[in-house]
């Protein structure tokens, strides 16, 4: 049986940390105020798994449940909606604080801004969020999905009046296709959480949008968590969460742990190399963690992660499936969390580390013990209900 978790402690050289201010407490507060202007907004639950914490030998385990976000079953809409608002603010010479939901929906704003087409590549959740935000604001969206994407997630995107299709290439190639199509379209705009040289502003806005989730979690947790586990695809969510908590607790930050799918572990590979340069994973990246199947790091996030993450983990599909099952069937007294494949990966990793003595050394290096208060993020619910039932009910790993 292959090792379920590969891990490496972060020994990369530190940089001047120029990107950390992107996730400052003030910038995140602006994003959260914007999201609060939506009629669909409510704070998603932070579920306290007290019995599970006791079972795992920890003081606290609390998991942010994003299956309740805006009725879309995933957190991604936070990034796409804020990036679209920031783009419109830039184009109209307005501060985003003057563009709450009602103003963005107004005829006056539409006359001033006109019409744009927002392009994105996605496994499902990000594209659905972009499509939803564009649809809410009377704009257009074109969404490209990598091969292996499910029809359920495609149909969810189409239901938001977006043009969408499943391609025959991987996620990173879809990003390139979306960028090309946008460049050939009048008022075409790429809304992607992957940053590359020359495309850094919009991904930074997306990260700030994700900060709303981190800000809510920080308030709900109360005292400082000792550990934060967060999943990563290109690393935008991870950079957003790690950046926010590094700013919030500047003098005493939590131990930050990044969890990736082993099939697409570009950040882990960069950490193993140890020189601070990003690494790329190519090919099919076959994993049930579709939201994490991204092989090219967001360079903005990578800089934040290099400076503030304690350990990088690359996990097998079985770890995510275990996390899904444990959250779906909690110990008596704890609340169920309906978590999808990408959503449950960090909790599956935590449970495996705590219960499998193969990872005793990692447990000790991370100082995970009876005093630990761990914050995790379940970033999606059952966004593909058929697959979720296969894993939970039929005990299949896909």
**Which helix H or strand E contains 353, and what residues bound it?**
helix 345-355
Query: Among 22-26, 94-98, 375-379, 394-398, where is mean pLDDT lowest?
Result: 394-398
**Is residue 398 included in any domain, yes or no?**
no
Q: Which of 197, 219, 248 is a domain's end point?
A: 197
**Active-site entry in 62, 64, 65, 76:** 76
Instruction: Encode pLDDT of 288-311 as tens digits.
Output: 999 999 999 999 999 999 999 999
3-state secondary structure string across 185-214: CCCEEECCCCCECCECHHHHHHHHHHHHHH
If you average pLDDT over residues 268-296, what whole number do you get?
Answer: 94
Domain that holds residue 369: 5-74+203-392
pLDDT for 320 equals 97
Please tell me whether residues 248 and 369 are part of one structural domain. yes
Please check whether residues 156 and 305 belong to one and the same domain: no
Q: What is the mean pLDDT of residues 82-96?
A: 96
Band of pLDDT at residue 1, cut at 50, 70 and 90: low
Structural domain ending residue among the three candidates 197, 226, 241: 197
The total domain count for the chain is 2
For residues 243 and 362, membership in a common domain is answered with: yes
Active site residue 357: no
Q: Indicate the pLDDT class of residue 2, thresholds 50, 70 and 90.
A: confident
Q: What number of helices (H) and strands (E) belong to the chain?
A: 16, 11
Do residues 383 and 271 both lie within one domain?
A: yes
* Residue of 89, 178, 87 lying closest to 127 (CA atoms): 178
Among 167, 197, 227, where does a domain finish?
197
Which pairing describes strands 60-65 and 46-48: parallel, antiparallel, or unpaired? Answer: antiparallel
| 163 in active site | no
Q: In the predicted model, is pLDDT for residue 93 greater than 90?
A: yes
CA 322 to chain centre: 20
Residue 184's CATH number: 3.40.50.1100
Catalytic residue among 62, 65, 123, 306: 123
Q: How far apart are CA 234 and CA 279, in angstroms?
A: 11
Residue 74 and residue 381: Cα distance in Å, rounded? 6
């Amino acid at each position: 049986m292959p090792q379920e978790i590969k891990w490496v402690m972060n020994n990369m050289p530190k940089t001047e940390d120029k990107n950390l201010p992107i996730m400052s407490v003030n910038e995140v507060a602006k994003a959260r105020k914007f999201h609060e202007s939506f009629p669909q907004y409510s704070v998603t639950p932070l579920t306290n798994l007290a019995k599970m914490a006791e079972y795992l030998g920890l003081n606290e385990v609390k998991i942010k449940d994003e299956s309740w976000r805006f009725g879309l079953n995933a957190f991604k809409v936070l990034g796409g909606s804020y990036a679209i608002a920031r783009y419109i603010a830039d184009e109209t010479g307005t501060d985003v604080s003057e563009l709450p939901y009602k103003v963005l929906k107004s005829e006056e704003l539409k006359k001033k801004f006109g019409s744009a087409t927002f392009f994105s590549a996605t496994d499902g959740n990000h594209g659905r969020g972009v499509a939803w935000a564009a649809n809410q604001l009377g704009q257009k969206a074109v969404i490209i999905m990598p091969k292996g994407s499910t029809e359920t997630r495609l149909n969810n995107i189409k239901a938001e009046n977006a043009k969408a299709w499943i391609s025959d290439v991987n996620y990173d190639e879809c990003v390139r296709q979306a960028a090309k199509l946008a460049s050939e379209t009048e008022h075409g705009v790429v809304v992607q959480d992957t940053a590359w040289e020359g495309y850094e502003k919009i991904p930074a806005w997306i990260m700030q949008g994700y900060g709303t989730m981190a800000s809510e979690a920080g308030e709900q947790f109360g005292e400082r968590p000792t550990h934060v586990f967060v999943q990563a695809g290109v690393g935008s969510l991870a950079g957003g969460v790690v950046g926010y908590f590094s700013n919030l607790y500047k003098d005493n930050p939590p131990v930050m742990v990044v969890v990736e799918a082993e099939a697409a572990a570009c950040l882990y590979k960069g950490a193993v190399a140890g020189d601070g340069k990003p690494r790329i994973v190519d090919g099919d990246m076959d994993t049930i963690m579709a939201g994490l199947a991204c092989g090219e790091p967001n360079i903005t996030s990578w800089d934040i992660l290099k400076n503030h993450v304690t350990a990088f983990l690359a996990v097998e599909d079985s770890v995510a499936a275990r996390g899904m099952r444990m959250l779906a069937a909690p110990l008596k007294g704890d609340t169920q969390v309906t978590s999808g494949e990408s959503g449950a990966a960090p909790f599956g990793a935590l449970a495996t580390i705590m219960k499998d003595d193969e990872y005793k050394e990692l447990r000790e290096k991370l100082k995970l013990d009876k005093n630990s208060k761990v914050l995790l993020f379940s970033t999606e619910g059952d966004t593909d209900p058929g697959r979720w039932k296969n894993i939970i009910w039929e005990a299949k790993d896909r």
